[in-house]
Amino acid sequence: MKAVVFFEHGEHSNLKYEDTPLPEINPNEVMIKVKASACNYNDIWARQGLPGMEIALPHISGSDVSGIIEQIGSAVTNVEVGDEVLVHCGISCRNCAYCASGQDYFCRKFKIYGFQTGPLDGGHAEYAKVPAFNVLPKPKSLTWEQAASLPLSLVTAWRMLVTRGKIQAGDHVLVWGAAGGIGMMAVQICKLFGAKAIAVAKDDTKLEATSKMGASYTINRSKQDVYQEIKQITEKRGVDIVFEHVGAATWETSVKSLKWGGTLVTCGATTGFDAKTDIRFSGTNS
């Protein structure tokens, strides 16, 4: 099959489109004929290499997949060949206390498919294998491309804002990178819960797109001071929730922008992992 593979970490030129062996499934897995797969920032981290994290080489990235079940393992009973599915990319042991209580993200064997799996075990390929437990029926109203766009971004944004952030109607939510894949999900979740998304993006075209998705306020970070705008919008109170995924470049502003007792939820940290925190604010603005 054709796949996008890299054999060592480095630049974009390390990504090779070439023939690789078809995945072989075990009794609890299924093989999917990939119709579409999404790109996420973890694809970039995997290619570049991350200090403190081992990426199995050679590597096929791709955490989000939609497609048709091509083959099922001998123990699989929940899907059949020909089923149209999408992949939930959180892979866990399914046996520990965390998994049994629905908190599989804390499973010590938790892995993100297409990022921490491998070698040669991701969705940027013509075929992909995953545990049968990780496939869900594709909503019929969605195209293959739409279905592939959802899992990682939607699950992450939902977990951050709903499960961990306890978003409430009326909350002000600062959403960094609001026009990106995860940001667009965050803005829509805010609208769904009656919260007020304050969308931050780098230009007005992106901000118009976030407004169409339901953002209540917009801040152009290229022209406006985000912290000053937050103070004005919230009448100096600060936001109830900060939706962080940018990291080092935005962290200090995120902490400062919280109301007293506010909540900062974070993932990704695409601009860097070493962020400065004024501990005085962490005691009040959190």
Does residue 190 touch another protein according to CB under 8 A? no
Does residue 196 touch another protein according to CB under 8 A? no
Shortest distance in whole angstroms from residue 188 CB to another protein: 5
Does residue 63 touch another protein according to CB under 8 A? no
Does residue 126 touch another protein according to CB under 8 A? yes
Does residue 179 touch another protein according to CB under 8 A? yes
Does residue 262 touch another protein according to CB under 8 A? no
The closest alpha carbon to 184, from 164, 206, 165, belongs to 206
Select 25 or 125, whichever has its Cβ closest to another protein: 125
CA dist 19 and 276 (Å) reads 45
Q: Select the residue interacting with another protein from 79, 150, 197, 241 (CB under 8 A).
A: 150
CA dist 43 and 157 (Å) reads 18
Q: Select the residue interacting with another protein from 19, 82, 141, 235 (CB under 8 A).
A: 141
Q: Select the residue interacting with another protein from 23, 131, 165, 181 (CB under 8 A).
A: 181
Amino acid at 101: S
CA dihedral 243→246→247→253, nearest 10 degrees, is -60
CA dist 177 and 147 (Å) reads 22
> For residues 30 and 73, is the Cβ–Cβ distance under 8 A?
yes
Residue the block writes with tokens 């079940």 = 69
| Binding range to another protein, per CB under 8 A, among 10-18, 77-85, 110-118, 260-268 | 10-18
With CB under 8 A, what is the number of residues at the site for another protein?
56
> How far is C-alpha 75 from the geometric centre of its chain's CA atoms?
30
The closest alpha carbon to 265, from 132, 146, 174, 188, belongs to 174
Q: Select the residue interacting with another protein from 136, 248, 249, 267 (CB under 8 A).
A: 136
Shortest distance in whole angstroms from residue 234 CB to another protein: 25
Fill in the per-residue mask, 76 to 105: x = in contact with another protein (CB under 8 A), - = not in contact. ------------x-----------------
> Which pair of tokens denotes residue 80?
């059949």
Shortest distance in whole angstroms from residue 97 CB to another protein: 21
Does residue 22 touch another protein according to CB under 8 A? no
> How far is C-alpha 218 from the geometric centre of its chain's CA atoms?
22
CA dist 110 and 113 (Å) reads 9
Q: What is the CA radius of gyration of the chain?
A: 20
DSSP string, 221-281: TTTS-HHHHHHHHTTTS-EEEEEE-S-TTTHHHHHHHEEEEEEEEE---TT-S-----HHH
Does residue 192 touch another protein according to CB under 8 A? yes
Does residue 151 touch another protein according to CB under 8 A? yes
Q: What is the CA angle 209-206-35, rounded to 5?
A: 70
Q: In the complex, which residues of this chain contact another protein (CB under 8 A)?
A: 2-4, 12-13, 15, 17, 33-41, 43-44, 47, 61-62, 88, 124-126, 136, 139, 141-142, 144-151, 153-155, 158, 162, 177, 179-181, 184-185, 188-189, 192, 202, 205-206, 209, 213
